Amino acid sequence: MRKRVLITGGAGFIAHHLIFYLLKKTEYEIISLDRLDYSGNLNRLNNILLSLNKEDKSRLKIVFHDLKSEINPWIAKDIGDVNYIFHLAAGSHVDRSILNPMDFIYDNVVGTGNILEFARKINEKKILERFIYFSTDEVFGPAAKGIDYKENDRYNSTNPYSATKAGGEELAVAFENTYNLPVYITHTMNVFGERQHPEKFIPMCVRKIRDNEEITIHSDSTKKIPGSRHYIHAEDVSEAILFLITNKIDHLPDWGGAKCPKFNIVGSEEIDNLELAKLIAKSQNKDLNFKMVDFHSSRPGHDLRYSLSGEKMKNLGWTPSIKLSERINQVVGWYIRNQEWL
């Protein structure tokens, strides 16, 4: 009998890549749960389905629901029993969280509580193998040069988005400790790829470089040191998730006896945003027109550098299989061929 996977926020950017990857690499049946808003776009799912055969398409079911409301018996029946729940539904734009913090509290804390309560009921049937809560590097706050945060380092949220994601994490931990829910928590950072929201840095750079427009590079107060990140392609994140659920993961000493394991899913190399913009320009055979702006110190809630340690996943046997420069060329080429997504 096929495994069944519920993916919340299924029309979102990372989630639709995860759906695409699982449909290609497994025989799982996938249920996508989404309310459809600025970050959830059915066109993403439609686009990936175009390249799948009829049998693979038939393994995807779409259910509409806003997780600010509980999963009532009718929605629960529509979803059915599941073996895995991957919770990606979330408000995820920092600027939006600064303008409307209560929206993010409802989406990321209340919404997480509602999906955890649904998972608890599934778990009572002894069929739930894993609940994975997708969190973010931003729960750790800014990272000074030379600092790479490990999974169990202290949190230091600097905006409502990261604070609500940290709150969702704590709810997930509590549900494992209280109800023995089989929870994993993942931290990802700066995920990119095809069909990303056009306001994100990489598609924005592709569009502006194409149109010979100036790129704004966020920097420190000297306007000499650009912000940096560990960028990772959404397919690599999907590969890491499949790795986690298909391999036996033994407890490691740095878990400190915690019942709820956490995993950083991190790109293989750190790159500053100026170098990234140069890579994108090179992929288009265009010159880069840019200016450095002290965005970080003038805008509360934004951080110059984030960084996570990927050592735990590396020690378990997983690292991204494709170099960042190759992924950038892949994605830029895709956007140039599919400019309706810019």
Residues 291-340 pLDDT 10s:
999 866 656 666 788 899 999 999 999 999 999 999 999 999 999 999 99
Beta-strand ranges (E) seen in the chain are 4-8, 29-34, 60-64, 84-87, 130-136, 183-188, 191-192, 215-218, 228-229, 232-233, 262-265, 271-272, 290-293
Report pLDDT for 139: 96
Neighbours of 114 (CB within 10 A): 18
Is the residue at 287 inside a domain? yes
Of 29, 107, 138, 194, the active-site residue reads 138
The reply to whether 254 belongs to the active site is: no
**Same domain flag for 31 and 67:** yes
Nearest to 264 by CA among 247, 233, 241, 285: 241
Report pLDDT for 249: 82
**Same domain flag for 86 and 119:** yes
Half-sphere CA count of 192, side-chain side, radius 13 A: 28
**Same domain flag for 300 and 237:** no
**Same domain flag for 205 and 288:** yes
**Same domain flag for 16 and 122:** yes
Report pLDDT for 39: 66
Is the residue at 41 inside a domain? yes
**Same domain flag for 121 and 236:** yes
Residues 6+ apart with CB under 8 A from 17: 193, 194, 234, 235, 237, 238
Identify the CATH number of the domain in which residue 156 sits.
Answer: 3.40.50.720
Low-confidence ranges of the chain (pLDDT < 50): none
Of 137, 169, 194, 272, the active-site residue reads 137
Of 21, 133, 161, 335, the active-site residue reads 161
**Same domain flag for 260 and 301:** no
Report pLDDT for 267: 95
**Same domain flag for 66 and 213:** no
Is the residue at 238 inside a domain? yes
Report pLDDT for 251: 60
The reply to whether 161 belongs to the active site is: yes
- Domain of residue 125 covers 4-191+230-265
**Same domain flag for 103 and 247:** yes
Is the residue at 68 inside a domain? yes
Distance in angstroms (rounded) separating the CA atoms of residues 154 and 137: 12
Q: Which region holds residue 223: left if phi is over 0, alpha if psi is between -120 and 50, else beta?
A: left
The reply to whether 137 belongs to the active site is: yes
Distance in angstroms (rounded) separating the CA atoms of residues 333 and 137: 28
Q: Considering its fold, how many domains does the chain have in total? A: 2
Report pLDDT for 95: 84
